[in-house]
């Protein structure tokens, strides 16, 4: 079979839940504070994946205004019971401190494209829920349990309870069926049934560099569950030079021919500081069932960079330039932050993208920022903006963004006297500071006219550019450190920052007058880079994370 190079879903596609229906494979991944919620990719061959829908796309399903960074939609589970698709997800309203406000919901649809139902609220006892359809027709809901007392652990185990779809609620007793291993932080449960065994796949060790997939089984659904003889079937925690780090939070699928694969979360650090600018991504591993009825990862537990799958990936498509226009609405690759009320932050009338300036770039409620994932270690981005700024509180432009505390922003704005200018802003510090820096002096520009804005990222080096009408691009400001747009720098470090770098356009009006800014197009142009996924093994052979 052909080999592909991991990951299969590059750039901020974590917590994969995989499903096969007939000859079609689907993967659902977390989207956190980005709207619409949950990404679902489709494949026929496990090699080539296409984003086909984000099912949580209206206010009755999801409203994340006020959700802090890296809260929102966590760890979806996508299943099919032979009649319809089921999607389980968490909307996290608070994650820092002793308490977690994590609300779990279920939606369903006859087709993967939807429309998906309004949600049924299930519980709030913990996060990472999933739904298991037993062969007797019953449905079982599992989620990790959170204990704010830490008595003895905050990650207290995996809860199991029956879900009655007719009543739309949990019924019967809840039982803690598995408390994990000494690695602790047990979460991400998925249940399976095979050869008379119930299997429980969990994640442990946290989502940073001690992450792992832990496997257990029982003859009875409610346990007791015994842990796999190898304990962790997948992990990079003891292999610091492996190309794929942070490996854990997985799910299992079988091909029509009976081969077994494990998809899992991973990260690819490419700097000496071990920063994963592309966030947590989805990789795939070949697995097999042993004679002892346990699952093993081929060449595991360390994840393999190269894996045999049925299909051959279209490598040229990965590096193809994407030039986005807006005649047919907002392209699928783009998302925005938190709010379901899109008409308040953007429109695509006249074939252009118009943003209506709202709250600041640090807002958790309503800001006009529309962006796409960074999926390559090196790329160019470009847009043309038409914006009449009135003072220093009105601004619009191009941003490389991770979170409210970690971003770069080249904006068309104005001084307090009304003179229009270009202002380069950055926020490169961790919570609770978050104060702006201004890496370059402002550049005065005419009060009317379009402005071309661009940036280039080459590994960790970020450079902004601008051009007035009829002029060539010229650099503005110094070379900046793009590696701060990473989980490891995202305000709460790797165990508390869960998304990835984005690039896009933004408009902010701190006067509250919703000043419009019009963008004619957006270009994302990937560049080949020694640290990109097809050459990443060159970085790790004998010299760690060598690309400075």
Mention every residue, 6+ apart, whose C-beta is less than 8 A from residue 396. Answer: 355, 357, 385, 387, 389, 411, 412, 413, 505, 506, 507, 508, 515, 517
Strand partners, 169: 164
The CA distances from residue 456 to 20, 465, 467, 510, in Å, are: 39, 8, 14, 28
Interior/surface letters 484-500, b for 16+ CB within 10 angstroms, e for the rest: bbbbbbbbbebebbbbb
CA distance 7 to 266: 8
Which two structure tokens, joined as six digits, stand for 389? 């700024």
Which two structure tokens, joined as six digits, stand for 444? 């005065």
CA distance 210 to 519: 43
CA-based end-to-end distance of the chain: 35
Instruction: Identify whether 136 is a catalytic site residue.
Output: no
Which two structure tokens, joined as six digits, stand for 183? 């690695």
CA distance 181 to 367: 42
Catalytic, out of 33, 187, 204, 529: 187
- The residue with tokens 């496990």 is 46
Instruction: Identify whether 433 is a catalytic site residue.
Output: no
Is 134 within 8 Å of 140 (Cβ atoms)?
Answer: yes
- The residue with tokens 């009060």 is 447
- The residue with tokens 């619409």 is 36
Task: Point out the residues that are catalytic.
Answer: 15, 187
């Amino acid at each position: 079979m052909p080999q592909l190079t991991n990951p299969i879903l590059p750039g901020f596609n974590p917590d994969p839940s995989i499903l096969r229906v007939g000859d079609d494979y689907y993967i659902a991944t977390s989207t956190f504070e980005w709207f619409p919620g949950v990404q679902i990719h489709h494949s026929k061959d496990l090699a080539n994946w296409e984003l086909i829908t984000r099912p949580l796309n209206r206010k009755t399903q999801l409203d994340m205004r006020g959700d802090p960074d890296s809260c929102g939609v966590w760890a979806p589970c996508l299943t099919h019971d032979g009649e319809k698709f089921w999607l389980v997800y968490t909307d996290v309203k608070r994650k820092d401190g002793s308490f977690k406000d994590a609300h779990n919901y279920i939606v369903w649809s006859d087709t993967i494209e939807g429309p998906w139902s309004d949600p049924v609220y299930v519980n709030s006892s913990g996060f990472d829920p999933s739904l298991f359809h037993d062969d007797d027709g019953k449905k079982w809901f599992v989620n990790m349990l959170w204990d704010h007392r830490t008595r003895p652990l905050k990650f207290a185990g995996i809860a199991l309870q029956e879900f009655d779809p007719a009543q739309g609620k949990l019924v019967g007793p809840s039982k803690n069926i598995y408390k994990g291993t000494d690695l602790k932080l047990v979460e991400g449960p998925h249940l399976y049934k095979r050869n008379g065994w119930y299997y429980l796949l969990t994640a442990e060790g946290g989502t940073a560099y001690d992450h792992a997939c832990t496997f257990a089984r029982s003859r009875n659904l409610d346990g007791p569950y015994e842990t796999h003889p190898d304990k962790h079937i997948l992990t990079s925690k003891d292999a610091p030079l492996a190309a794929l780090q942070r490996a854990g939070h997985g799910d299992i699928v079988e091909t029509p021919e009976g081969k077994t694969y494990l998809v899992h979360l991973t990260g690819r650090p490419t700097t000496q500081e071990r920063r994963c600018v592309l966030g947590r991504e989805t990789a795939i591993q070949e697995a097999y069932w042993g004679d002892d009825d346990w699952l093993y990862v081929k060449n595991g537990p360390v994840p393999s960079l190269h894996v045999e799958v049925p299909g051959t990936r279209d490598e040229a498509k990965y590096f193809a330039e994407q030039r986005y226009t807006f005649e047919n609405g907002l392209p699928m690759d783009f998302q925005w932050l938190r709010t379901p009320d899109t008409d308040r932050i953007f429109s695509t009338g006249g074939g252009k993208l118009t943003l209506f300036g709202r709250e600041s770039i640090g807002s958790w409620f309503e800001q006009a920022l529309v962006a796409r994932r960074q999926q390559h270690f090196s790329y160019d981005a470009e847009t043309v903006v038409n914006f009449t700024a009135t003072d220093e509180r009105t601004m619009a432009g191009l941003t490389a963004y991770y979170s409210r505390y970690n971003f770069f922003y080249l904006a068309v704005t104005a001084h307090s006297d009304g003179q229009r200018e270009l202002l380069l802003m950055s926020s490169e510090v961790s919570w609770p500071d978050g104060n702006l820096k201004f890496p370059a002096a402002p550049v005065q520009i005419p009060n009317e006219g379009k402005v071309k804005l661009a940036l280039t990222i080459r590994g960790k080096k970020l450079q902004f550019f601008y051009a007035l009408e009829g002029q060539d691009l010229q650099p503005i400001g110094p070379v900046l450190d793009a590696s701060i747009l990473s989980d490891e720098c995202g305000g709460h470090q790797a165990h508390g920052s869960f998304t990835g770098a984005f690039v896009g356009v933004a408009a902010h009006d701190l006067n509250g007058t919703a000043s419009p800014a019009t963008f004619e197009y957006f270009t994302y142009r990937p560049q080949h880079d020694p640290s990109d996924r097809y050459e990443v093994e060159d970085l790790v052979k004998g010299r760690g994370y060598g690309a400075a």
